[in-house]
Chain A
């Protein structure tokens, strides 16, 4: 009887561990998530930088400093797209599988197209802000 109970408990532990690995992935996935976390911060910095620039339209420079490098990415890694006069997007490529991205970043203000992560900004009532 006790052996059966121990086997059931072990089965429960093994099942939970396997399910855990399936859901969160292994150490490789964790490292990708950590690098994507730094990419997200960098995307945030570049978004704020471009926001500063569009707020000073007509002025060639922005007082905001260039974002500091967080993960070996340069300005070329962040694409700036003017959607209209009142909207623009800053995007960069993330590393985590596209299937996991939506779930992991659900509560951040970022949208995904495959592995490309984008932050959108728009002008509303004359004020620029993040979408």
Chain B
């Protein structure tokens, strides 16, 4: 949770004045601040006798981060969508002999994947190398926001997919073709969810 400027300044001044953490917490609680706000305000400074108080590292925001991560996540989402489109078209061709042969759709999806996949891979590998060299980059606020946004989108897709499967089952439309398409959506969204969940955990541990 973000700590307000006034609260942060008060906490810093109180620690600098030699007040103990317990005294500061009591004063803040008595003034109406919640326990989590008090914990966040105190947690922003290292527990060390050094004076003035030493701030703990905070999230960073930079235009460079926005460019790199927005591009990376945008390509990932675009690639995921067209991977599903391509797999669905192939499933239709394999399982539904009455369907129209959607060659143009297949070619467009292939073109998107041929461009998006290597660029996404290059950006990701490059970023991993930078993160390994400087773990401070894990504190990028934009990176965290986009990773949580990806988790949100992939979990919503997974839930929507499950709802569609149950609806199809109840509606009597539960065909092999439908099941295969739903499985593709689940695998793609599931892999993305697990990949970025692992990343977030790694970042928290760093």
A64 at the B interface (CB under 8 A):
no
Contact A24 B87 (CB under 8 A): no
Q: Please name 18 further chain A to chain B contacts, defined as beta carbons within 8 Å, in addition to the given A5-B194, A20-B90, sorted by A numbering.
A: A1-B194, A2-B198, A5-B191, A9-B195, A13-B79, A13-B113, A16-B86, A16-B87, A16-B90, A17-B114, A19-B90, A23-B90, A23-B103, A24-B106, A24-B110, A30-B103, A106-B101, A107-B100
Contact A33 B199 (CB under 8 A): no
User: How many residue pairs, one in A and one in B, have C-beta atoms under 8 Å apart?
Assistant: 61
Q: Give 8 closest A-B pairs by Cβ, nearest first.
A: A2-B198, A5-B195, A20-B110, A24-B103, A16-B86, A24-B106, A9-B191, A20-B106
Closest A residue to B84 by CB, please name it.
Answer: A16
Q: Which of A19, A21, A24, A103 has the most CB of B within 10 A?
A: A24
Q: How near does chain A come to B81, taking the closest CB pair, in angstroms? A: 13
In the assembled complex, which residues on chain A have CB atoms less than 8 Å from the CB atom of B202? 2
In the assembled complex, which residues on chain B have CB atoms less than 8 Å from the CB atom of A24? 103, 106-107, 110
A6 at the B interface (CB under 8 A):
yes
A104 at the B interface (CB under 8 A):
yes
Question: Of residues 65 to 83 in B, which have CB atoms within 8 Å of A's CB atoms?
Answer: 79, 83
Contact B106 A23 (CB under 8 A): yes
Q: Place the interface of chain A in its size category.
A: 20 to 34
Which residue of B113, B121, B192, B194 contacts A16 across the interface (Cβ within 8 Å)?
A: B113
In the assembled complex, which residues on chain B have CB atoms less than 8 Å from the CB atom of A30? 103, 107
A8 at the B interface (CB under 8 A):
yes
Q: How would residues 55 to 71 of chain A score, 1 for a CB under 8 Å from any chain B CB and 0 otherwise?
A: 00000000000000000
| Contact surface of B with A, Cβ cutoff 8 Å | 79, 83, 86-87, 90, 93, 100-101, 103, 106-107, 109-110, 113-114, 117, 121, 124, 187-188, 191-192, 194-195, 198-199, 202
Contact B114 A2 (CB under 8 A): no
A12 at the B interface (CB under 8 A):
yes
In the assembled complex, which residues on chain A have CB atoms less than 8 Å from the CB atom of B188? 9, 12
A3-B66 Cα distance, complex, nearest whole Å: 24
Q: Known contacts A2-B195, A104-B101: does B117 contact A13 (CB below 8 Å)?
A: yes
A10-B116 Cα distance, complex, nearest whole Å: 12
A21-B86 Cα distance, complex, nearest whole Å: 11
Contact A33 B194 (CB under 8 A): no
| 24 interchain pairs, CB-CB under 8 A | A1-B198, A2-B199, A5-B194, A6-B195, A8-B191, A12-B83, A12-B187, A12-B191, A13-B79, A13-B83, A13-B113, A13-B117, A16-B83, A16-B86, A17-B114, A20-B106, A20-B109, A23-B90, A23-B93, A23-B103, A24-B107, A24-B110, A103-B101, A107-B100
